[in-house]
Amino acid sequence: MLRADLAEIFERARFNPVLWLAIKHEHGAQRRFERLERSLQLGAYALAALFTLPLFIRADAFALYFQLWFLGLVVSYALGFGADAAYVLGARSSAEVNGAFWETLRLTLLPSAVLVEGKYLNAQLRVWRWLLLEAAVRHFVVAALVLILIAILVRVSVMLLLVSGGLILILPLSVAYVYMREPLMRMRTMVALSFAAALNIRDETVAALFAISVAFIIRALQVIFILSLPFQGSVFDSFVYENYGIGFRLICFWPWLYLLVVYMLFYGVYQRARAWALETVQRHVRTESQSF
């Protein structure tokens, strides 16, 4: 699922000498990342299949398995906090604001946008393996949920699975796409914020703590938003039922309207934070270059 994004980064190396040097001397070939991604995804799907296999044999295990799946969902989200720290620290080492290599780059005739893009994409490659690990965990969670739903449909009726199974799986698959793409958007945002902090705060410890704190605040707001979903749903249901009736509520509130709101809220925050951080970095590099 991340292969196209990885290919885009390596494609940019053809036009960015900073990134090209980093790939040549540090990261190696693109196929190394692709092999790792393929292995982790296959492992996640295999574990999901083994996890849900008893559901197709025993009909009394669904309640327990839903509890275990929800526990896995919570654990996967908690592991994201550790991934955020890895993204921040990996990007911090890539900034190299106190290194001779970075100072030498700023003396070249390369535009500031090329310098920033090269270091920014290099930072992404440095933490790409952590991203693949987090993505593999989410692939396991999604695959397990889909298999659980399929097992339920098989138990209810094979004909129901064939006729309406696709419709029943539309919402989970739509949410799953957003859920599996979120680590990539968050990683890029954390890298950009860490890069900006590293260039503007000379103390490495303070810069890292600042970026990690911002990441923690974003995740804490997401947790608060998720925990408030039942209350939001009850308020919205009451408003729509009183003004539009139950038919409008079922069609518009679940799933499409609310899914769009969640998508814009989560991804809009990431996009704006990343754009602000990269703009700050470019402004800092231009100012430093003019001072030489």
Q: Where are the beta strands (DSSP E) in the chain?
A: none
Give CA torsion, residues 170, 171, 177, 178, to 10 deg.
Answer: 160
CB atoms within 10 A of CB 220: 11
At 150, list the tokens: 């399929």
The full length of the chain comes to 292
- pLDDT tens, residue by residue, 156-173: 665 555 555 555 566 666
- pLDDT tens, residue by residue, 99-114: 555 556 666 667 777 8
What is the pLDDT, as a whole number, of residue 11?
A: 92
What is the pLDDT, as a whole number, of residue 92?
A: 66
Contact 255, 174 (CB under 8 A): yes
What is the pLDDT, as a whole number, of residue 168?
A: 57
Say if residue 67 is exposed, middle or buried (CB neighbours under 10 Å; 0-12, 13-18, 19+): exposed
- Bond before 54 cis per omega within 30 degrees: no
What is the pLDDT, as a whole number, of residue 247?
A: 47
The greatest distance separating any two alpha carbons of the chain, rounded to the nearest whole angstrom, comes to 74
Contact 51, 144 (CB under 8 A): yes
Segments of the chain with pLDDT less than 50: 98, 245-252
CB proximity list for 150: less than 8 A, separation 6 or greater: 161, 165, 169
Task: Determine the Cα–Cα distance for residues 87 and 70; give it in Å rounded to an integer.
Answer: 26
